[in-house]
Chains A and B, each alone.
Chain A
Amino acid sequence: MSTVNTPTPQMLDDAFAALTEKIPYISFLGVTFQRRGDEVSALLTYTPDLIGNPILPALHGGATGAFLEITAITSLTWVAALERIHSKPEWDGTFAPQPKTVDFSIDYLRSGKPQDAYARAIILRRGRRVANVRVEAWQDERSKPFIAAHGHFLLS
């Protein structure tokens, strides 16, 4: 990456907040993010509204699947935003259009326990038009993901 700009941490925080805090569905689900360099760490805060099976109880597969999709998209938008911030001498505060999901394939590995969940995405490839992303979420142990997914996203 040819760096023209050296953004301050404050500038990065503001850009990250602008990117993640204005999407109603992300707030509805209760997902929050932290930036770790160019990587994004996602947190799904437990509430009883996330339950899909009250008898076990277990988190709703739709909610946890959506959590992974949100994490994948936010990871892509953050990498794209960083490129803009770094490459433009004076970044105008705008972002690239949101990636559109082409397909998303979810593996349910274990039932989601009624507690917080964490997710991280790996961008396997980010081409000019399509990105290929793998994403996993876990609860107590990072080495025991309870849900994993693989998706393709249209970037332009």
Chain B
Amino acid sequence: MTDDKFKDSIVPPLQDDNEDGLLMSALPHSRELGMRLISRADDEAVLMIPYDPKLIGDPQTGVMHGGAITALLDTCCGTAVMMSSKKPSSTATLDLRINYMKPATPEKSVYAHAHCYRATRSIGFVRAIAYHEDRDDPIATASAAFILNFKGGSA
């Protein structure tokens, strides 16, 4: 991935724990998944899903279902778009492509880091990685486009 900012950025921790609560209260399904906002900065966001047996996709291995990771990446990408300099009032996914590199390890939390590397008047383009501890050893990578909505019509 040739995105230097994405690779090197260390998104600072949240200043206010309540930010996490605010985001998740606005996203009932993310809350149901136990998702947490870990940090956010300009154009970027880090979210996490703790391991939970209810999210298992393969009972023989205990591996978390890819669908939960889809939801994590979608929410993380959407949050990064909301953090873009265009400051949309809301956003919606147009397309989301996920490549799975390896299964998630049972019992481990899954993190996602998304970077909105380009935002035009109407579209935000995002890349994201899902991982446990090491972003260089990804579970999955994602590439997405989001439509930007602005209060009172387009910007």
Contact = CB atoms under 8 A, between A and B. Distances in A.
Interface of A: 22-29, 48-55, 58-63, 65-67, 69-70, 97-98, 100-108, 111
A107 B84 CA distance: 22
Contact of B97 (A59, A97, A106): A106
B66 A104 contact: yes
Contacts of A60: 27-30, 71, 74-75
B33, B70, B96, B98 pick with most chain A CB within 10 angstroms: B70
Interface in B86-130: 90, 92-100, 103
B29 A101 contact: no
Size category of the B interface is 35 or more
27 contacts: A23-B56, A23-B57, A25-B65, A27-B54, A29-B67, A49-B28, A49-B29, A49-B32, A53-B90, A54-B28, A58-B92, A60-B30, A62-B67, A62-B71, A62-B72, A63-B29, A65-B67, A66-B71, A69-B66, A70-B65, A98-B57, A101-B100, A104-B98, A105-B97, A106-B96, A108-B94, A108-B96
A74 to B, nearest CB: 11
B147 to A, nearest CB: 9
A22 B59 CA distance: 7
Nearest to B61: A98
B29 A28 contact: no
B63 to A, nearest CB: 9
Given A51-B28, A51-B29, A106-B97, A61 B74 contact: yes
A104 B97 CA distance: 6
Per CB-CB distance, the 6 closest pairs between chain A and chain B, nearest first, are A62-B71, A66-B67, A60-B29, A25-B65, A105-B97, A62-B74
A48 B78 CA distance: 20
B50 interface: no
A64 to B, nearest CB: 9
A146 B118 CA distance: 26
B28 A50 contact: yes
Nearest to A104: B98
B11 interface: no
Contact of B70 (A22, A66, A102): A66
B53 interface: yes
Contacts of B64: 25
Contacts of A65: 67, 70-71, 74, 96
Nearest to B55: A25
B98 A103 contact: yes
Nearest to A59: B29
